[in-house]
Structure 1
Amino acid sequence: MKLAGSTDELFKKLTFGIRKRRLEQRKKETDHSLPLARILPDDCKEICKRNKNKNSEINNETSNSLITSEKEPKILGGFENVLKKKKRCRSLAVKKEQIAHLRKLNRIFVWGDNIPDPLIHFTGIHGLSQELINNLKEFGITEPTPIQMQAIPVMMQERDLLCSAPTGSGKTLAFALPIIFDVVRRKSHNSKDQLNAVVLEPTHELVKQTYVQFLKFSHNLSVSLNVLISTPNKLVYALNKNSKILLDGLNWLVIDESDRLFDTTEGDDRCFRNQLAQIYQACSENSVRRALFSATFSYEVEDWCKKNLYNVAMICIGSRNSAVSSVKQELIFAGSEHGKIIGLRALFQNSFKPPALIFVQSKLRAKQLVPIIESLQPPIPVKMISSEKTEIERESAIAEFRSGHVWVLICTDLMSRGLDLSGVNLVVNFDLPTSIISYIHRIGRAGRAGRRGHAVTYFTESDLNFIRPIATVIKQAGFKVPEYTLRMRKPTKKEKKKLLKHAPKRKNIGSLKKASGKRKEEKKRKKEVVA
């Protein structure tokens, strides 16, 4: 008995850590990086050979059975039909295996009944006009991305859809192409007085960006689209002013950045969910199909779709609510607000490759950070953007950032969603994001369309109670984080909701003097002048 016990202990010692190493190896094998371009199986020829072999086996079986059936009594005459049925079942099984393999390669996950097969080529869309194909080629779009591979066929079925894919993966084309195709297909039935589709975007900047995309893809088509692209607030205002707003013959209601559906940070009056309820009621006809797109897959939005949408198809590209692994992510403890400034100066003076976005939690903090960046040597062209800026000022700042005249743009979460700012190399979370969703959207501004990027997130002692969810997301993306951040207490649901509505209080950035202090200095100077 002692010998058995000692052998068990010896075995445990020899195999200690093997299970952990296997898990780590498995994680390495399943690369977290998402294919932003379509991936086709390398073993296509082998699959075809396998299919041929299976078919030849089935044919041999049928031929042998026919030979034997000729010799045997006619009572087995129906055996041929049975074999044909088996052949069909096997060929269907092979096709299912191929589709499953294609989805696995492109990390396409689907839920729902009768989900159509993924699209491999745009030319595979029956009836797609040559003008539309030429428009895609003109802008360098030759093959569908994973989200387009699956979302386009589902929308072609004219069914409700909930879709999640990483930032910069081509979600706009995934819903724009089926809408344009649908309008072209129905052009003889379309009325000039009726809207074909309504696309809702959370910000004015995204409205304009999506509008430009629709113009690009529908260029040279001999049909008017009649597509309304708007923010929910503007559409609600229009509905209140004129209830007969041409929504009677609507075919599509598309909600982009749909995770904002349950975002209540802007208060009840400006809450996306309340605004959407009114729009949803105005689009209550059975003919209206709904499609929801976002970079994250919220459980609340999923539950809402299951309750309110009929036969909804759900698509998720990659891991649910995961950060883009093409962006190198760092989580740095700065200790205090002053520590953040020291870290930022070191980052910009040592390894800075513009352009860069810096995210802060409020407009006031954005204002406070501008002079600090301007004071760096050599000087860095910097501007800030927030909701209090006029539309013209925001557009001007974005245009200068895109042209390269501005290297650093300091902003609030207004800029974290959807905007395609190509070439962003660095994202700095100067203030810790208030949720995982906010973090994913923020760092998604870098590394768009498969390009490499860098994201740095600073946190202080006041952030320790909320650091664990962010640290977990970074760790799951394959990057190192301080081990103690993963052992911190998980914030409760109540704490998370409170954090979304009220960001944590922080000390002023830098050494901004209060107005009272300035007045005292002025009085001193006046006394000196009098003396």
Structure 2
Amino acid sequence: MPFSNFGLEEKILRAIKKVGYTQPTLVQIAAIPKVMAGNDVIAIAQTGTGKTAAFVLPILNRLSEVAKGGKIPGTRVMILAPTRELAIQIVDNIESYGRHLAIRVAAIYGGVDEISQIKALRKGVHIVVATPGRLIDIIERHKIDLSAIQTLVLDEADRMLHMGFLPDIETIIETLPRRRQTLMFSATFPKEVESLAKRFQHQPKTVQIGKRSEAADTVDQSVYEVPPHLKSALLIELLKDPRFERVLVFVRMKDGANRLTDILKSARVNVAKLHSSRTQEQREKALQNFKDGKTQVLVATDIVARGIDIDGVTHVINYDFPVNPEDYIHRIGRTGRAEHAGEALSFVPKGDLNLLGMTELHIGQRLARKRLRGFDHFAKTPAKDANMQPAKKDWRKRTREMEAKKSAKNLPHKKPTGGRTTRSAPKKSASRRKKP
């Protein structure tokens, strides 16, 4: 089925052809006609299946039809995204698909100076792509007019709820016209999103490709049951394989990302890190270098687990296993995109085996177990590496040495007394004293 069957504008068809799209994906085939018909839509599909184009293309088509009758009045479309990176990516897609259209788009997100963003709004934009926090700030300062909004899109709605954006989403929706089209797109659809849909959508049409909690079938998934102190050494060993060309490594915390990045650098791995404490310039540079293939490994928190499209990611490694099964699905979805094969590896210490079991139950499959000699729970002698933490035997030895030094420090000291040194006689214990 060609894209021309949707009735899209010829200028849009030319643009997507230049991007390299030849045939629509299943979610695009199912969702685009419903969005073009003006329905509220809930779309659930695996990551990497083209959900962004499924709502952007019909939105651009509608705006182009309005433009035929003259100037497009006001801001007509609001797209909310959970992270700056996803907001920037959506803007890039809009500009690519609408390169032959006179449609203006602005990105509103935190971490950068808001002056340039406000200037863009003053010039007039037809589509605003925003993260909730910065948008709320601009709304409260009366720097944006949302009275003409016709379409609201919540991209990665489940992630926004997990990140605690519900109060902000409610505040934003209160400022929008009641008569509007509301679209929700995500790879997973938990009960929280279903409740949100019932509150903010009117008789939505549901598009579901595959199971609601299904991992991408283009990704080969496996698990290494590895002790915590051997995880960095195992990662370094795996990265020696030339097949690991572009590797995205997920950790839970920012401090963990910093430590692991330092370890990999000391092992001469070309690595960058990406988390919320990095400046926007640092984040953009790290992501772009990884996309361009200048960096082999990108160590990141879940900030890039949702919606970020990076071509050619050969491997996703869960260095820290995710607590939430939905996060697992989104993480591994960064590889195996656009029907290309990918591989996802998870490092699971004994303490995380319960999380692994929950995830396997959630996705309905048991993940393959792999072993690498010297890096598992069954290893008699852990593999040695300069960047590894000491094995338990070494810690016990060090503890004994430290206790011995501490005891030596507590021995009675010789005190100078008129040039001569004497040591006080040890006190006799009460049990040895002679009775009078």
Give TM class, smaller chain.
Answer: 0.7 to 0.9
Deviations 1:305-336 (A, max 9, x none): 134321111111111111112111112211x2
The superposition leaves residues 367-415 of structure 1 with CA deviations (integer Å, 9 ceiling, x where unpaired) of 1112322233xx3211111110000011111121122221001111111
Residue pairs, 1:456-471, within 5 angstroms: 456-471=345-360
Instruction: Report what 1:295 is aligned to.
Output: 187
Give the structure 1 partner of residue 136 of structure 2.
236
Which residue number in structure 2 is paired with residue 331 of structure 1? Answer: 223
1:279 is matched with 172
Q: Secondary structure at the match of 2:321?
A: coil
8 Å CA contact retained: 1:131, 1:220? yes
Aligned length: 355
Shift of 1:471: 2.7
The answer to whether residue 359 in structure 2 is matched with residue 480 in structure 1 is no
1:210 is matched with 90
Shift of 1:194: 1.2
Q: Deviations for 1:244-286, whole angstroms, at most 9, x for unmatched residues?
A: 732111110011111124214xxxxxx2111100011111421
The correspondence for 1:368, drawn from 237, 247, 259, is: 259
1:388 equivalenced with 2:287 (yes/no): no
Q: How far is 1:364 from its partner? A: 0.6
Does structure 1 conserve the Cα–Cα contact (< 8 Å) formed by 2:251 and 2:318?
yes
Structure 1 counterpart of 2:31, from 148, 151, 156: 151
Residue aligned with 1:187, SS: helix
- 2-side partners of 1:249 and 1:371: how far apart? 49
Shift of 1:427: 0.8
Q: Does the Cα contact within 8 Å between 2:153 and 2:182 map onto a contact in 1?
A: yes
Write out aligned runs for 1:155-304 (5 A). Answer: 155-187=35-67, 194-222=74-102, 226-242=126-142, 245-264=144-163, 271-286=164-179, 288-304=180-196
* Contact 1:359 1:413 (C-alpha < 8 Å) held by counterparts: yes
Q: Residues 344-493 of structure 1 correspond to what in structure 2 (within 5 A)?
A: 344-350=235-241, 352-376=243-267, 379-473=268-362, 476=365, 479-481=367-369
Query: 1:459 and 1:421 mapped to 2: Cα distance?
Result: 25
Contact 1:354 1:407 (8 Å CA) reproduced: yes
Q: Secondary structure at the match of 2:85?
A: helix
What's 2:232 paired with?
A: 341
Q: Alignment partner of 1:174: what SS?
A: helix
Counterpart of 1:256 in structure 2: which amino acid? D
Q: Is the 8 A contact 2:360 2:367 kept in 1?
A: no
Distance 1:218 1:240 in 2: 30
Note if contact 2:225-2:348 (Cα within 8 Å) is conserved in structure 1: yes
Name the SS for the 1:349 alignment partner: coil
Identity, in percent, stands at 31
What CA distance in whole angstroms lies between the structure 2 residues aligned with 1:398 and 1:131? Answer: 30
The answer to which structure has the higher helix fraction is 1
Alpha-carbon distance, 1:188 to partner:
5.2
What is the CA–CA distance in structure 2 between the aligned matches of 1:190 and 1:285, rounded to whole Å? 25
Q: Structure 1's 375 and 173: CA in aligned 2 closer, same or farther, altered over 3 A?
A: same
Task: List per-residue Cα deviations over 1:435-455 (Å, max 9, x = no partner).
Answer: 111101111111111111111
CA distance in structure 1 between the partners assigned to 2:369 and 2:389 by the alignment: 30
User: Do the aligned residues in 1 keep the contact of 2:222 with 2:368 (CA within 8 Å)?
Assistant: yes
CA distance in 2, matches of 1:464, 1:213: 39
Q: Distance in 2 between matches of 1:404 and 1:454?
A: 18
Q: Aligned-pair RMSD on alpha carbons? A: 2.2
Unaligned stretches of 5+ residues in structure 1: 1-119, 265-270, 483-508, 518-531
Q: Distance in 2 between matches of 1:240 and 1:510?
A: 50
Partner of 1:37: none
Aligned partners of 1:263, 1:223: CA distance in 2, in Å? 32
Q: Give how far 1:461 is off.
A: 2.1
Q: Is the contact made by 1:329 and 1:474 (CA closer than 8 Å) also made in structure 2? A: no
User: What TM-score do you get using the length of structure 2 for normalisation?
Assistant: 0.77
Per-residue CA deviations over 1:505-525 (Å, capped at 9, x if unaligned) read: xxxx9559xxxx9xxxxxxxx
Aligned to 1:124: 5
Q: Measure the CA separation in 1 of the matches of 2:50 and 2:91.
A: 15
Q: Is the 8 A contact 1:374 1:382 kept in 2?
A: yes
Q: Is the 8 A contact 1:474 1:481 kept in 2?
A: no
- The question of whether the paired residues in 2 share the 8 Å contact of 1:154 and 1:161 is answered with yes
Per the normalisation by structure 1, the TM-score is 0.63
- Alpha-carbon displacement from aligned partner over 1:196-222 (angstroms, at most 9, x marks no partner): 101111111111111111111111225
Higher relative contact order (CA 8 A, sep 6+): 2
Instruction: Select between 341-350 and 247-256 the one with higher mean Cα deviation.
Output: 341-350
Say if 1:315 and 1:322 are closer, same or farther in 2 by CA, change over 3 A. Answer: same
Alignment-mate amino acid for residue 19 of structure 2: F
> Which amino acid in the other structure matches residue 410 of structure 1?
V
